[in-house]
Amino acid sequence: MSPIRSIGLPEIKSVMSDIDLLEEMKSGFLAYSRGECVIPPVGELILDDPAPGEVHIKYGYIRGGDRYVIKIASGFPLNRELGIQSGNGMMLLFNQRTGELDTILHDEAYLTDVRTAAAGALASRTLAPSEVDVLGIVGTGVQAALQLEHASRALGCTNALVWGRTPERVDLFREQFAGRGVDVEAAADVASLADSCRVIITCTSATEPLIEADWVRPGTHITAVGSDTPEKQELDVSLLARADRVVVDSLEQGRLRGEVARALSSGAINETGIIELGALLGDPTLGRMTDDEITVADLTGVAVQDLKIAEAVLRAL
Amino acid sequence: MSPIRSIGLPEIKSVMSDIDLLEEMKSGFLAYSRGECVIPPVGELILDDPAPGEVHIKYGYIRGGDRYVIKIASGFPLNRELGIQSGNGMMLLFNQRTGELDTILHDEAYLTDVRTAAAGALASRTLAPSEVDVLGIVGTGVQAALQLEHASRALGCTNALVWGRTPERVDLFREQFAGRGVDVEAAADVASLADSCRVIITCTSATEPLIEADWVRPGTHITAVGSDTPEKQELDVSLLARADRVVVDSLEQGRLRGEVARALSSGAINETGIIELGALLGDPTLGRMTDDEITVADLTGVAVQDLKIAEAVLRAL
């Protein structure tokens, strides 16, 4: 058996600036929507004793590739009380010809966070109207900060509004961006954020809608990344019904998880007209047609993103 | 983050003799059939390019326990041509309260093989008739050898018949047991093996039945461990129909995989009367009633076995 490479978080972080994350995500979504990937349904383990937690297992490969990935990511919200991070995870890369374990990326969920943010930025850039003066971020956690970082860069937007339930967290969030070239202001509420922002990214673990359909102005794009289970929801289903385009990373996953699953099961929308991000990236005529349209991208996270970022890290190392 | 323990195969093997494997499996099956476990459906990744392979992900936990397990096991049959083993695997143990990775057991599928053999021996001992003069093993691979080792010990049986498709492999199999206290003879065919053996264990990757119903004499117990996917099959469905008791490790998995799935979908049997091994271990009146009955145990392998053997290794180390 070949030696197994075990790579820790500092080493992973040291090479991130060498990776064109949006290009990696783009090539992954293109391959996915061309049917070149084998990606089984997401494995899910729900815990409640002695503490609530959830574990997602995402796995798959690109046909004819070198490696398959098995990615394990967990969220244990009460970890904060113990002084440890709530998110955790690792990516395992296996030889696609032999099944031998090749590399363990002990990324502690960092790569999942980054690839999620990169996909959000990619979807936002692809569907944004031509002028975006202010970027709206709903949420104040790790993912919210990463979305702001990546999307502001992708959109060339230096003004942002942020909303969160807890004012102290909003303040901490704003402080993180001090001196980083993006002016971040606090929004009084989600409705006023929606009124001011032509791109809005939601990244919370909400289980009730945070954005109502009639708060959103024509010419707005919304990327929802928080909802990745059947239970979570950030957008009112009528907002998806009102949208001119609804885009998902994976239609197969979108039927089961996230905003689209909610909107489909409520009858607010049907599958006709839902487009995969990879299809849209391959054919821009499927995307936004005018600056007045409302577009929604619902991302639940696909294993091909994990494979792409993991292989990019290996190449960069 | 606490340091991650990484344990290799030699270290794992060094403590195996300290573990009462059948007791570990018994307590696992008891907990499983009492409904104390959370075990999602098996994850499965099928590969065909550049080489055929299959990967199974089994995972879960016992409520109120210390750790959850994610077990990855693969089989790549063409590895033999490359001079490397076809089976591979690892077990990951995570803190059930926080999701933190606790231990990686780099067992290269050894623990899966051993826990499968221990479960086979447990099922065979539990359902065997009172007198077993000759143990029958169908198959000559790694699992066949382990089943013979564990079942002959559990049954106190020192005579075995083995059948395999390839005479050279049968010879190699017999050589492995030279001087180990079990007299292993080659069977001319499966029918004559069935005629001579009151306990038969099948451990092949067959996709067509190897044992016909009318070859099996009254008073025989058969444990089938080879079939763990919807495609594989070792027993004719009419043998399950003829059996007085049909036992599965997991009814939920048995509906989808293995001999029972085949027999159910063909209509040869229905679910009424199928008993879980854990239920039978808890209530022996559910098992064999007379020495004339035919009993079948169909084992597809349950994550609680992985958890039990992994935790036993950690305790023994």
Domain topology for A127-302? Rossmann fold (3.40.50)
Residue contact B64–A49, C-beta within 8 A: yes
Residue B231 has pLDDT above 90, yes or no: no
Domain locations along chain B: 5-111+305-316, 127-303
- CATH class name, domain B5-111+305-316: alpha beta
Classify B235 as helix, strand or coil: strand
At residue A227, the pLDDT reads: 82
pTM: 0.93
At residue B3, the pLDDT reads: 80
Mean of pLDDT values over B174-191? 96
Q: Please tell me which of the candidates A1, A55, A57 has its beta carbon nearest to residue B108.
A: A1
Give CATH for domain A5-111+304-316: 3.30.1780.10
**Chain-wide mean pLDDT for chain A?**
96
Best residue of B70, B93, B229, B304 to probe chain A, by most A CBs closer than 10 Å: B70
Residue B2 has pLDDT above 90, yes or no: no
Q: Is the CB of residue A226 less than 8 Å from the CB of residue A234? A: yes
Q: Is the CB of residue A13 less than 8 Å from the CB of residue A38? A: no
Q: Which residue has the tokens 């919807």?
A: B230
Residue contact B59–A51, C-beta within 8 A: no
At residue A247, the pLDDT reads: 98
Give the residue from A4, A98, A106 showing the smallest Cα distance to B8: A4
DSSP secondary structure code for residue A53 in this structure: E
Q: Is the CB of residue B220 less than 8 Å from the CB of residue B288? A: no
| H/E stretch holding A163 | strand A159-163
Domain B127-303 has CATH 3.40.50.720: yes
Residue contact A38–B47, C-beta within 8 A: yes
Per-residue pLDDT of A4-26, as tens digits, reads 899 999 999 999 999 999 999 99
Here the ipTM equals 0.91
Q: Please tell me which of the candidates B45, B57, B99 has its beta carbon nearest to residue A88.
A: B99
Per-residue pLDDT of A215-272, as tens digits, reads 999 999 999 999 888 888 999 999 999 999 999 999 999 999 999 999 999 999 999 9
Q: Is the CB of residue B193 less than 8 Å from the CB of residue B161? A: yes
Q: How many CB pairs under 8 A join A and B?
A: 118
CA distance linking residue A137 with residue A147, whole number of Å: 8
Tell me the nearest-neighbour CA distance from B173 into chain A, angstroms: 24
Best residue of A6, A45, A96 to probe chain B, by most B CBs closer than 10 Å: A45
Q: Which residues lie below 8 Å from residue A316, measured CB to CB, with a gap of 6+?
A: A15, A16, A18, A19
At residue B1, the pLDDT reads: 52
Give the residue from B217, B200, B263 showing the smallest Cα distance to B236: B263
Best residue of B97, B105, B304 to probe chain A, by most A CBs closer than 10 Å: B97
Per-residue pLDDT of B46-95, as tens digits, reads 999 889 999 999 999 999 999 999 999 999 999 999 999 999 999 999 99
Q: Please tell me which of the candidates B49, B84, B99 has its beta carbon nearest to residue A98.
A: B84
